[in-house]
Amino acid sequence: MHAIDGVFARLDEDHPNRKEAISEKKLTKGDGGWNQRKEVLGWILDTHNGTLELTDRRKARIADIFEDLRHKRRVSIKKWQRVLGELRFMGAALPGSAGLFGAMQLGLKMADEHRVRIPR
Report pLDDT for 53.
92
**71 has pLDDT over 70:** yes
Chain centroid to CA 86: how far?
Answer: 9
- Spatial CA neighbour of 96 closest among 84, 105, 87: 87
Q: Where are the domains of the chain?
A: 2-54, 56-117
User: Looking at residues 38-50, what average pLDDT do you find?
Assistant: 88
Report pLDDT for 32.
66
Task: Please give the backbone phi and psi of residue 52, each rounded to the nearest 5 degrees, phi first.
Answer: -135, 125
Q: Which of 4-13, 69-78, 99-108 has the highest mean pLDDT?
A: 69-78
Q: 56-69 vs 77-89: helix axis angle to the nearest 10? A: 140
User: Looking at residues 17-41, what average pLDDT do you find?
Assistant: 73
pTM for the model:
0.64
Report pLDDT for 113.
86
Report pLDDT for 36.
81
CB count, 10 Å around CB of 116? 23
Report pLDDT for 14.
67
Q: What is the mean pLDDT of the chain?
A: 82
